Amino acid sequence: MEAVNKDTARYIITYFSELMTPAEKVALRHQQSLIKLEGDDDGSRTKLYYRSGRLSDDPKVLKLLNEGPDQFLINCAERILKDCPEKVFLNLCPACKKLARTPDARQCRFCGFDWH
């Protein structure tokens, strides 16, 4: 298996998130919540996010995010491809072999090829 790039990782996480582990799902929600909390100067929203479970203080979850958000997505995607490759459909353009925007897309965003 070749290394997964950032775009492929986002595709896998977006369209096959049901294959993520519970800890990976919590880590993803934590990371997305951190982005929303940028600019929370007084910390009131941060406290609310912890109480509501959008942020986690679980060391297992936080360890998944140690290498940064992009590497977290890549690590999740690589694990998904390793553990259940038969459940992931990478919709590649028949002409240029690049990844289509969605699993259902039938026109390449890179070369314009149409395979309807």
What pLDDT, on the 0 to 100 scale, is given for residue 1? Answer: 62
Tell me the pLDDT tens digit for each residue of 29-51. 999 999 999 888 788 899 999 99
What pLDDT, on the 0 to 100 scale, is given for residue 3? Answer: 84
Q: Name residues of the chain where pLDDT drops below 70.
A: 1-2
Residue 54, CA distances (Å) to 2, 49, 67, 77 in order: 33, 5, 20, 22
The partner residues of 107 in beta bridges, in order of sequence, read 114
What pLDDT, on the 0 to 100 scale, is given for residue 104? Answer: 97
107 SS3 class: strand
The partner residues of 114 in beta bridges, in order of sequence, read 107
